Amino acid sequence: MRRLAFLSVVVLTAAACGGSDGESTTTTTEPATSTTAESTVSTTVADATTTTAATTGSGGQLVVTTVSFGASPYVVITNIGDETGSLAGHFLCQRPSYAGLPDDDVAAGEAIAFSLGGDGFTPPEGVTASDEVLDLGGLSNTGGEIGLYTSSDFSSSDDIISYVEWGSGDHGRSATAVAAGIWGGFVPTTDATLSLVAQTLPALSADDWGEG
C-alpha cells in the first residue's frame, strides 16, 4: 500500500460488491481534471475531536468532511485520528449506489477527495485528489446522503462509520447511521447550495455541518 502525502495517486479499480441486502455496487475509473475547489477542510482538521466516532480498525479515524455539488461533484474523506488509516475494504454509499474505495493509506491529519463524475474537480487546498472516479448515482444539492462503510454489509450499524444527509431526513441509510449513534437530523439545503463542510469533527449530527 502507498502512503498519501498530498500527491495524486493512480489506483486500481475497486471490485464491485453487492451489499447484504442485495443491492449493487458501482464505480468507474475515469481520470479527473481540475475546475473548482473548496478550502475549509484543512483548517477544520486541526480542531478535530476524536473521542466519540468509530475508527477504521487500522489506527486511523476516517470521516466524510466535505460534499461538493455542481457540475463536478466530489466527496472528501479525512483521517482525524492520530495514526495512519487504510481505505482498503471501505465503501461510500448513496443508496442504492455503492462504490468501493482504493487500497490506499491516509496519514493522520490528511484528506483525500474523490470525484463523483462531471468534467473534473479541484480538491480543497491541502487535500489530495484521487484518480479514482466514483459512481454514486448523481448528487443533488436539494436532497441526498453519503455514508462511509468499513465493509459491504450496508445494513450493519457496526460497519457504518461516517454519515451525512441533507435536504430532508429518512434517506436510505439514515436509520443505519442513527442506530450506529453517528447521526441525527438533516442539513437544510437549497438549489443554491454549493457544498457542505463539517464544522465540528467528528460530525455526528446535522448541527455539525454547514454550507461551504
- Domains of the chain listed by start with CATH number: 1-187 (2.60.40.1260)
- Beta-bridge partner residues of 86: 105
pLDDT computed for residue 119 by the predictor: 81
**Average pLDDT, integer, range 45-67:** 62
Q: What sign has the CA pseudo-torsion 17, 112, 61, 201?
A: negative
Torsion-angle region of 95 (φ positive above 0: left; ψ -120 to 50: alpha; else: beta): beta
CB atoms within 10 A of CB 51: 6
Position 21 confidence tier, pLDDT thresholds 50, 70, 90:
low
pLDDT single digits (tens) 151-190: 999 999 999 999 999 999 999 999 999 999 999 999 999 9
Q: Is the pLDDT of residue 38 over 50?
A: no
Q: Which of 7-11, 29-33, 116-120, 126-130 has the lowest mean pLDDT?
A: 7-11
d(CA 3, CA 61): 15
pLDDT computed for residue 110 by the predictor: 96
pLDDT computed for residue 58 by the predictor: 55
Position 82 confidence tier, pLDDT thresholds 50, 70, 90:
very high
d(CA 212, CA 124): 11
As a whole number, the mean pLDDT across the chain is 80
pLDDT computed for residue 118 by the predictor: 85
More confident residue, 99 or 4: 99
Position 36 confidence tier, pLDDT thresholds 50, 70, 90:
very low
d(CA 30, CA 13): 10
d(CA 97, CA 3): 28
The C-alpha cell 475494504 sits at 89
pLDDT single digits (tens) 106-131: 999 999 999 999 887 888 899 999 99
pLDDT computed for residue 23 by the predictor: 52
d(CA 98, CA 118): 18
Torsion-angle region of 137 (φ positive above 0: left; ψ -120 to 50: alpha; else: beta): left
**Average pLDDT, integer, range 66-94:** 96
Distance of CA 190 to the CA centre of its chain: 21
pLDDT computed for residue 33 by the predictor: 36
Position 11 confidence tier, pLDDT thresholds 50, 70, 90:
very low
Q: Which of 25, 27, 89 is nearest to 56 (CA)?
A: 89
